[in-house]
């Protein structure tokens, strides 16, 4: 079955460590996205990539980095520069062309800083 | 910048009843799309319904329908015959019909359906 997978489901990080969240899709979608979700807030865009080897900062990119070396993979690194990284992280993808706007989401990763 | 506002943090409804979730948005664009996403306790985001701004007819998907008032910039979701499985966070979202598909989300409404 086609879809988006995220791993791990739960991740614990010590202060000062970098951690990488995995996102893989087998939908042959061109565009991929990373969102952060905090209690009482909607999803906020961290980074997005419209094609391989290209990505752009979203609204809250500080303290995060990404790469897009393969079409199906879009890993997110949470660096030690991110001051409050405890949150739920969602990866999404779209075909890049119609139907406009529908994003397919992965199951998410819950990151906790100890 | 586009914004989406959901003024109801929490709502509750009994099984089989009807409930309406509110959403307003702000944009100067005329060509855009609106969505309602559902996030159940599993936290998997699921698309519930989509509305194209150029269409006057309100979208409907089984028990879910919208009331789209373009001039008022209002996009409410009506859930008929509520079921226990409808218990979830509901997010309203907006996207412009431009080259890049950037969704703008509201803060969500937590809906509890009780027996």
pLDDT digits (tens, 9 = 90+) for A43-100: 999 999 988 999 999 999 999 999 999 999 999 999 988 889 999 999 999 886 654 5
Residues of B with CB under 8 A from a CB of A: 4, 9, 33, 35, 42-47, 50, 52, 91, 93, 95, 97, 100-103, 105-108
Q: Are A113 and A14 in contact (CB under 8 A)?
A: yes
Distance in angstroms (rounded) separating the CA atoms of residues B108 and B113: 16
Q: Is B62 left (phi over 0), alpha (psi -120 to 50) or beta?
A: left
Closest residue on chain B to A48 (Cα): B102
Which chain B residues touch A88 with a CB distance below 8 Å? 43
Using CB atoms, pick whichever of B42, B91, B100 lies closest to residue A42. B91
Please answer yes or no on whether A107 and B97 come within 8 Å at the CB atom.
no
Non-local CB neighbours of B55 within 8 Å, separated by 6+ positions: none
More confident of the two residues B102 and A8 = A8
Q: Point out which residues pair with B26 in neighbouring strands.
A: B3
pLDDT on residue B17: 98
CA distance to partner chain A, nearest, from residue B92 (Å) = 9
Supply B48's token pair: 């519930």
Is the per-residue pLDDT at A20 higher than 60? yes
Residues of B in contact with A94 (CB under 8 A): 101
Give mean pLDDT, residues A20-30. 94
- The low-confidence residues of chain B, meaning pLDDT below 50, are none
- Residue B95: per-residue pLDDT: 86
| pLDDT computed for residue A1 by the predictor | 66
Question: Chain A residues with CB-CB distance to B under 8 A?
Answer: 31, 40-45, 48, 50, 58, 88, 90, 92, 94, 96, 99-103, 105, 107-108
Task: Provide the 3-class DSSP secondary structure of residue B44.
Answer: coil
Q: Which residues of B touch A31 (CB under 8 A)?
A: 101
């Amino acid at each position: 079955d086609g879809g988006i997978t995220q791993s791990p489901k739960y991740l614990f990080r010590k202060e000062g460590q970098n951690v990488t969240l995995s996102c893989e899709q087998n939908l042959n979608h061109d565009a991929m996205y990373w969102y952060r979700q905090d209690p009482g807030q909607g999803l906020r865009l961290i980074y997005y990539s419209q094609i391989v080897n290209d990505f752009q900062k979203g609204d809250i990119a500080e303290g995060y980095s990404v790469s897009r070396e393969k079409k199906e993979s879009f890993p997110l690194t949470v660096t030690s520069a991110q001051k409050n990284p405890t949150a739920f992280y969602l990866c999404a993808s779209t075909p890049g062309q119609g139907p406009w706007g529908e994003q397919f989401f992965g199951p998410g990763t819950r990151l906790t800083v100890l | 910048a586009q914004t989406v506002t959901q003024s109801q943090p929490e709502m509750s409804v009994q099984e089989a009843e009807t409930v309406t979730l509110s959403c307003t948005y702000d944009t100067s664009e005329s060509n855009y799309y609106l969505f309602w996403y559902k996030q159940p306790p599993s936290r998997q985001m699921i698309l519930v319904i989509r509305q194209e701004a150029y269409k006057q007819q309100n979208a409907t998907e089984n028990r879910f329908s919208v009331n789209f008032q373009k001039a008022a910039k209002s996009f409410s979701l009506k859930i008929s015959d509520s079921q226990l499985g409808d218990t979830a966070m509901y997010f309203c979202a907006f996207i412009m019909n431009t080259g890049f598909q950037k969704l703008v989300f509201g803060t969500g409404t937590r809906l509890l359906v009780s027996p």
